[in-house]
Amino acid sequence: MRIAKALGILALVTGVFGAGCSGADPGTQASAAQWNPRAYGGENTIELGTVRPDGSAHWFKVWIVVIDDQAYVRLGSRSAAKIEQNRSAPHVGVRVAGQQFDRVKGEAAPEMAERVAQAMAAKYWSDVLVRLVPHPLTLRLRPE
């Protein structure tokens, strides 16, 4: 009984936390011309792809908001560190709405931090807690 219960818990944890790992569906390859921020405003999350110092790819989920037809993400310390250590900087991969963009420029946008925080608060009910955690990096995403 204990083993079955432990395996059930393990399956639940793996399913919940494994969803954002590298095994996620990569989506259809897309070109910069197909980038459509208005269509992404309704998405709950997107995936950002970076290249680790050892050369391996790493994908992670983040929230997205669209302001003035521009896509923005707000990153906590761990995600910001992934961007800072990204060997393909300033470019990241983006998976959104069933599409994968391999070359998207992540531009620091500190001037938008407050507007992005307000948009996140309006879009995500759980931001009431998340906003208490520091978010040192706000990125504007632009395909190339």
**Predicted confidence (pLDDT) at residue 93 exceeds the cutoff of 80:** yes
Cis bond upstream, residue 110 (ω within 30): no
In a domain? residue 6: no
Structure tokens at 117: 């925080």
Identify the pLDDT of residue 48: 98
In a domain? residue 121: yes
Return the higher-pLDDT residue of 46 and 132. Answer: 46
Range of the domain at 36: 25-143
Return the higher-pLDDT residue of 58 and 20. Answer: 58
pTM to 2 decimal places? 0.80
In SS3 terms, the chain reads as: CHHHHHHHHHHHHHHHHHHHCCCCCCCEECCHHHCCHHHHCCCCEEEEEEECCCCCEEEEEEECEEECCEEEEEECHHHHHHHHCCCCCCEEEEEECCEEEEEEEEEECHHHHHHHHHHHHHHCCCHHHHCCCCCCEEEEEEEC
Identify the pLDDT of residue 133: 72
Identify the pLDDT of residue 130: 67
Identify the pLDDT of residue 6: 36
Q: What is the mean pLDDT of residues 90-112?
A: 97
In a domain? residue 139: yes
In a domain? residue 13: no
Identify the pLDDT of residue 27: 84
**Predicted confidence (pLDDT) at residue 7 exceeds the cutoff of 50:** no
pLDDT (tens digit per residue) in 40-53: 999 999 999 999 99
Q: What is the mean pLDDT of residues 80-108?
A: 97
**Predicted confidence (pLDDT) at residue 17 exceeds the cutoff of 50:** no
In a domain? residue 14: no
- In angstroms, the CA 120 to CA 58 distance is 24
In a domain? residue 131: yes
CATH code of the domain containing 75:
2.30.110.10
* Tally of domains within the chain: 1
Identify the pLDDT of residue 39: 95
In a domain? residue 76: yes
